[in-house]
Amino acid sequence: MSNRPGVGDAMPDIALETPEGGSVKPSDFAGRKLVVFFYPRDDTPGCTTENIDFSRLAPAFAKAGTALLGVSKDTPQKHRKFAEKHGLVAPLASDAETGGLSDRLGIWTEKQNYGRTYMGMVRTTYLVAPDGRIARIWDKVKVKGHAGEVLAAAEAL
């Protein structure tokens, strides 16, 4: 875990697949602030709330010069349906590849629930400065009020 990038380190520049079939990577946002929020799964209660909250605040993030990107291991097709169903405007990307961005960040990890062990995404948010360095990390995010807290940090950066 010690090689996990922290505050002040460069955000790993690993491409993610977009629902439109293209790709996006952190360096595409160079010169702007970027919020990358990783969440476990499309269309689950916490993840839906988190995505709706970020989408609701998208105009304020834009005003603060900050791009948004929601990331999970779900397929691009699932992301497209999820966004349409909930009217999401914060862009989504798929980190389905083994060795992808969430693996590199150390947040795709072994989890335990009711005695069952499985691989899963730790809900984590990164605020990336315009120079591509990680400015702030929120680990094991609690959804309620999170998007607003991230917005305040982005405005202050």
Residue among 27, 33, 38, 23 nearest 123 (CA): 38
Residue among 98, 136, 138 nearest 9 (CA): 136
Note the Cα 134 to chain centre separation in Å: 13
Does residue 47 have an active-site annotation?
Answer: yes
Pick the catalytic residue: 14, 35, 47, 121? 47
Q: Which helix (H) or strand (E) holds 121?
A: strand 116-121
Indicate which residues carry an active-site annotation: 47
